Chain A
Amino acid sequence: MKKRRFFHLAWIVGVLSVFAFVQMAHAISEAFKENIYDMGTVKPIDSVLKVKVGDRAPDFTLPSLTGEKISLRQYRGKKNVVLSFVPAAWTPVCSDQWPGYNIVKDIFDQNDAILLGITVDNLPTLYAWTNQMGKLWFPVLSDFWPHGAAAQKYGVLRSNGVSERALFLLDKKGVLRHINVNDINKRPSLEDLVSALEKLQK
């Protein structure tokens, strides 16, 4: 009898959870016109983290939109680093994440931090997409080839080849101080990121 009750309660919770996902909302900017490909609501997280807070952040070298190659190690001893992995160009939440970071450079500066934006898209796609965002102050890196290799090192490459919507904060020693693998369907909390940045200064 107890088992049956449990089964039915689980069923109710399941139905309500599905309903909750249907309710997800985005405020898409007109800047992207009709060019946003809506993938609908997908599995919130589809990978297993390979790093934890306190670990040395895995190094990588990736091509950036400006043409130069950027290695994580070049910031060691100089800057705190925020890695912002977003799943894919031309999708709803991703298109409304970096433009917001673009107007909070002062918060990054106050906390002596640089932001690196990363997706698994190739450079031409990233170029066309980020052009709609205005001039970005932070480097945008392509983790296209070998496909998703940097995302793989952190354990944020999903089974369909895009990355999670994840934020990693490293201190100047290259040690991970904050990790947020966010529900891919939602924008990460800016409050949490700001608070993690401010903690570094304490």
Chain B
Amino acid sequence: MKRKLMSLALAAVFLLTVSSFIHAANKPPQKGETLPVVNLPIPKSPAEKSYLGLSGAGFFKILQINAKVVIIEIFSMYCPYCQKDALGVNELYDLIEKDPDLKNKIKLIGIGAGNTPLEVGIFKKNYAVPFPLFADQDFKIHKACGEVRTPYFIVVKINEDGSHLIVHSQLGEYPGAKPFLELVLKSSGLK
């Protein structure tokens, strides 16, 4: 009996350890790498669904977003720099949406690290964020992204054949909408 219990305990610890390595990355996503696989809930709002080119309910993967380039901001409602940069990131969305050449090519999403739906909703309302934000309440995505500090920006280029590549990533230091858009266009080859 003692042996059985000991084996069971060791097996449980081993499985937990292995599963944590599968989900947790030890460094932030870098240029030239691919995105970790994350599932996000399809937004309920028809406007957000349409913005991302999604339909139905359930979950989607970032690469299913109908765009050539996706900009991901990992933020937190509790992060002073995310608060400070929020309006500037909204301006980036506006610049893209007002440009007929870019409107359907570049999409923006935000992922609230450790934030509940209520907290993400507060951030969205306070700063009138026009693009979809997702809650990562249990830090699952945050862990998969190497537990980055916030805000963290990732620019992903999605190719015609469905493959993708991270073309830019940066911690904080948001330079403002225009310079950041220039950087996105240059790094993704859209310009």
Interface string of B7-34 (1 = CB under 8 A from A): 0110011001100100000000000000
Is B126 interfacial (CB 8 A cutoff)? Answer: yes
Is B142 interfacial (CB 8 A cutoff)? Answer: yes
The answer to whether A30 and B16 touch across the interface, beta carbons within 8 angstroms, is no
Interface string of B74-85 (1 = CB under 8 A from A): 101111111110
The answer to whether B78 and A30 touch across the interface, beta carbons within 8 angstroms, is no
Q: What's the nearest-Cβ distance from chain A to residue B82, in Å?
A: 7
Residues of the B chain whose Cβ atoms lie less than 8 Å from the Cβ of A138: none
Bound together, the chains give a CA A22 to CA B103 distance in angstroms of: 43
Interface string of B108-145 (1 = CB under 8 A from A): 00000110101100110010000000000001001100
Bound together, the chains give a CA A12 to CA B81 distance in angstroms of: 42
Within A1-29, the residues touching B (CB, 8 Å) are 1, 4-5, 8-9, 11-12, 15-16, 19, 23, 25-29
The answer to whether A29 and B9 touch across the interface, beta carbons within 8 angstroms, is no
Main secondary structure of the interface of B (DSSP, over half): helix
Bound together, the chains give a CA A18 to CA B123 distance in angstroms of: 34
Is B150 interfacial (CB 8 A cutoff)? Answer: yes
The answer to whether B9 and A31 touch across the interface, beta carbons within 8 angstroms, is no
Interface residues on chain A, number (Cβ under 8 Å): 33
The answer to whether A30 and B149 touch across the interface, beta carbons within 8 angstroms, is yes
Is B2 interfacial (CB 8 A cutoff)? Answer: yes
Interface residues on chain B, number (Cβ under 8 Å): 40
Q: Which of B1, B16, B119 contacts A1 (CB 8 A)?
A: B1
The answer to whether A5 and B1 touch across the interface, beta carbons within 8 angstroms, is yes
Q: What's the nearest-Cβ distance from chain B to residue A91, in Å?
A: 14
Bound together, the chains give a CA A191 to CA B117 distance in angstroms of: 10
The answer to whether A187 and B78 touch across the interface, beta carbons within 8 angstroms, is yes
The answer to whether A29 and B139 touch across the interface, beta carbons within 8 angstroms, is no
Bound together, the chains give a CA A97 to CA B20 distance in angstroms of: 26
Is B88 interfacial (CB 8 A cutoff)? Answer: no
Q: Which of A15, A27, A97, A187 contacts B149 (CB 8 A)?
A: A27
Q: Which of A39-47, A99-107, A119-127, A139-147 participates in binding chain B?
A: A99-107
Q: What's the nearest-Cβ distance from chain A to residue B51, in Å?
A: 24
Closest A residue, CB atoms, query B76: A27
The answer to whether B150 and A27 touch across the interface, beta carbons within 8 angstroms, is yes
The answer to whether B1 and A134 touch across the interface, beta carbons within 8 angstroms, is no
Residues of the A chain whose Cβ atoms lie less than 8 Å from the Cβ of B173: 30
Residues of the A chain whose Cβ atoms lie less than 8 Å from the Cβ of B76: 27, 29, 96, 100
Q: Which of A8, A12, A27, A191 contacts B139 (CB 8 A)?
A: A27
Q: Which of B1, B12, B113 contacts A27 (CB 8 A)?
A: B113
Closest B residue, CB atoms, query A26: B114
Q: What's the nearest-Cβ distance from chain A to residue B137, in Å?
A: 10
Closest B residue, CB atoms, query A11: B9
Bound together, the chains give a CA A100 to CA B122 distance in angstroms of: 9
Q: Which of A16, A25, A134 contacts B84 (CB 8 A)?
A: A134
Residues of the A chain whose Cβ atoms lie less than 8 Å from the Cβ of B149: 27-30
Q: Are A16 and B12 also in contact (CB < 8 A) when A27-B114, A29-B149, A103-B123 are?
A: yes
Task: Show 19 A/B contacts (Cβ-Cβ < 8 Å), sorted by A.
Answer: A1-B1, A8-B5, A8-B6, A12-B8, A12-B12, A16-B13, A19-B13, A25-B139, A25-B147, A29-B79, A29-B82, A30-B150, A31-B79, A97-B78, A99-B83, A133-B80, A134-B80, A189-B116, A191-B118
